[in-house]
Every structure is written in C-alpha cells, then in structure tokens.
C-alpha cells in the first residue's frame, strides 16, 4: 500500500522559499536517508540524472517524481514526498514544482504496486488539488490513505 511508504514519517511540508531544485530533492529524500532506505549517493544520482537528461521527472503540473537507477545506493524500496508551499523551478521556469516525490527502487519490479497506487492518486485531479492545498504532513497522509 502506498501509505506504507508515504506516511507522516516520509512526508515533509516546508515553505521552500529560496530553495534550489537540487536542495528540494535532497530535502525530500532526507527521511529516507535518515531511516536507512537510501545512501547519500542515491540523492546525488537523482540530481545528476536531471542535470544530464533535463527536467523529465516533471510528470505533471507542479509535480516531480525524482528517481534513478539504484546502483547499490538503495537498501530497500522507499518513497518520500516533500511539499514546498513556494513553487521551485526544476531547471527552468517552464517546470515549476510544489510536490516533490522521491522513489527508491531496488530492482525493476518490487516497487510497481506502489507506482500503481501513486498513478491512481495523481491521475485524479481532485487529489492533486487537495495535495497542493494541504498544509501539513498529516493532511497529506489523510489524502494518501484515502486512495488505498
């Protein structure tokens, strides 16, 4: 279930004022770093991919899904979410982001159920509106729990 991975421990809400997109990805990932899901190299890897390939992790209006190849830097499947109340430009003003999802995968299959739930959550525009107006990790967790 999505709420097993995305919950009050892995969801962060901050103002985000003055933050760069690199800092946003690092801040979003911090709970996963702290609980041993990922190692620091995974954060660098997610940032490097965007520097190299562009802002393709911008999966919908105001939403990014940062992820990369595990390359030995991921210990188990994990997800995290940072909501920045300010929009932050992901490489350019054409890609303004408020919802920063982080996905840590260990292989090509074990995270797919979570991706399915995440797709269900985000393809419903009502949910996205609710996520964007939520002001605390508790509020966001309630929205995510309702999808399951």
Partner 1 sequence: MKLAAVCQSGLGTSFMVQMNIQNTLEAEGLNLEDFELSHMDVGSATPDAADYFFIESTLETALSNLPKEKIVLLNSIIDADETKRKLNEILDKNNILHTEEQSKG
Torsion region of 68: left, alpha or beta (phi above 0 gives left; psi -120 to 50 gives alpha): beta
Q: In the set 123, 133, 136, 146, which binds partner 1 (CB under 8 A)?
A: 123
Any contact of residue 74 with partner 1 (CB under 8 A)?
Answer: no
Of 128, 129, 133, nearest to 118 (Cα)?
A: 128
Residue 17 CB, shortest distance to partner 1, in Å, is 26
Any contact of residue 112 with partner 1 (CB under 8 A)?
Answer: yes
Scanning 5-13, 19-27, 36-44, 117-125 for contacts with partner 1 by CB under 8 A, the matching segment is 117-125
Residue 25 CB partners (closer than 8 Å, separation 6+):
43, 46, 47, 50, 64, 66, 100, 102
Residues that bind partner 1 (CB under 8 A): 49, 53-61, 63, 65, 67-69, 103, 105, 108, 111-112, 115-116, 118-119, 122-123, 128
């Amino acid at each position: 279930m999505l709420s097993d991975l995305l919950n009050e421990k892995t969801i962060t809400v901050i103002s985000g004022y003055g933050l760069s997109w690199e800092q946003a990805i690092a801040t979003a990932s911090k709970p996963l770093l702290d609980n041993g899901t990922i190692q620091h190299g995974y954060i660098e890897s997610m940032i490097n991919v965007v520097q190299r390939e562009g802002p393709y992790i911008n999966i919908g209006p105001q939403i990014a899904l940062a992820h990369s190849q595990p390359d030995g830097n991921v210990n188990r499947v994990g997800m995290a979410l940072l909501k920045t109340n300010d929009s932050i430009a992901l490489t350019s003003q054409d890609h303004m982001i408020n919802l920063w999802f982080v996905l840590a995968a260990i292989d090509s299959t074990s995270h797919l159920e979570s991706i399915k739930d995440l797709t269900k959550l985000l393809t419903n525009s009502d949910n996205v509106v609710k996520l964007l107006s939520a002001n605390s990790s508790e509020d966001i967790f309630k929205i995510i729990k309702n999808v399951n």
